[in-house]
Amino acid sequence: MAVLPWLVLLAWLAAALAGPFVTDAANRVDLPRILAPPAPGLPLGADDLGRPVLARLAAGAGTSLAVGFGVVLLSVAVGALLGGVAGFAGGWVDLLMVRIIDVFLAFPGILLAIALAGILGPGLGNVVIALAAVSWVGYARLARAQVLSLRRRDHVLAARALGAGPVRILRRHLLPLAAAPLIVEATFGIAGAVVAEAGLSFLGLGVQPPAASWGSMIRDGVAHMLTAPHLVAAPGAALMLVVLAVNLLGDRLRDHLDVRTARR
């Protein structure tokens, strides 16, 4: 059981790497195989256009991986920078950032992402931008709290006394110490971004056909749940396993980086 999340994660990465090599098979329409059940030649059956579900899953894995890591990297970069600057500067800068964070937190994140995706239009890049625009807030708040607790430390005061500028203090002395909680938060953010991307694709605001996404696969399979339940079961199971594995690894990383837990 300890290695199961790693196996799921490796399978996800392998499927994402294999995605570009199976794109032609994943998009090839084969009318005689429409809604074909799982069989030796089709391990997970075929969809409503006769396309193999297994190849579609591999192609969709690349989409979820790109969105998950793209959203988290962009959100961490923006959130850590803004939160770090606000916590270190204090005063009206910190007050303004807190108010901006409060405004973003007042809106349900997924509804704001849906609105932004609708304004920007469908597409992988727009999905990443829409989700990052609502995800940076958590990282900014966390980075601000960490910097506020660290900016009065002796090594920071010593660096300031030696003439180090604000940029150098943030880059060398504050943000590296705040990296551990941000990394832990980022692992959970990957799982949230994967689920959010599936939700946007389910609503038709994500990647567009013929590109594959687990959310769009579930949407297309809903109309055939009684006659071909594998169309929903396969991408739904893949989505559940990936999110569960990432969350479990995030819990383990948090316990590993927690000094109190490590001492026990």
pLDDT tens digits along 197-231: 999 989 888 888 888 899 999 998 998 888 889 89
* Selected residue with higher pLDDT from 72 and 250: 72
- Examine the pLDDT at 57 and tell me if it is beyond 90: yes
Q: Can you tell me the mean pLDDT for 149-156?
A: 80
Q: Which pLDDT belongs to residue 168?
A: 83
- Examine the pLDDT at 124 and tell me if it is beyond 90: no
- Examine the pLDDT at 258 and tell me if it is beyond 70: no
- The C-alpha atoms of residue 121 and residue 89 are separated, in whole angstroms, by 37
Q: 205 with 114: CB under 8 angstroms? A: yes
Kindly report the pTM of this predicted structure: 0.88
Q: Which pLDDT belongs to residue 2?
A: 73
* Selected residue with higher pLDDT from 229 and 122: 229
Residues pairing with 46 in the sheet: 52
Q: Look up residue 39 and give its amino acid.
A: A
Q: Can you tell me the mean pLDDT for 123-142?
A: 90
- The C-alpha atoms of residue 152 and residue 159 are separated, in whole angstroms, by 11
Q: 57 with 238: CB under 8 angstroms? A: yes
- The C-alpha atoms of residue 115 and residue 171 are separated, in whole angstroms, by 34
Q: How far is CA 58 from CA 44, 72, 111, in A?
A: 12, 21, 28
- The C-alpha atoms of residue 230 and residue 84 are separated, in whole angstroms, by 47
Rounded to the nearest angstrom, the gap between the alpha carbon of residue 203 and the centroid of all alpha carbons in its chain is 18
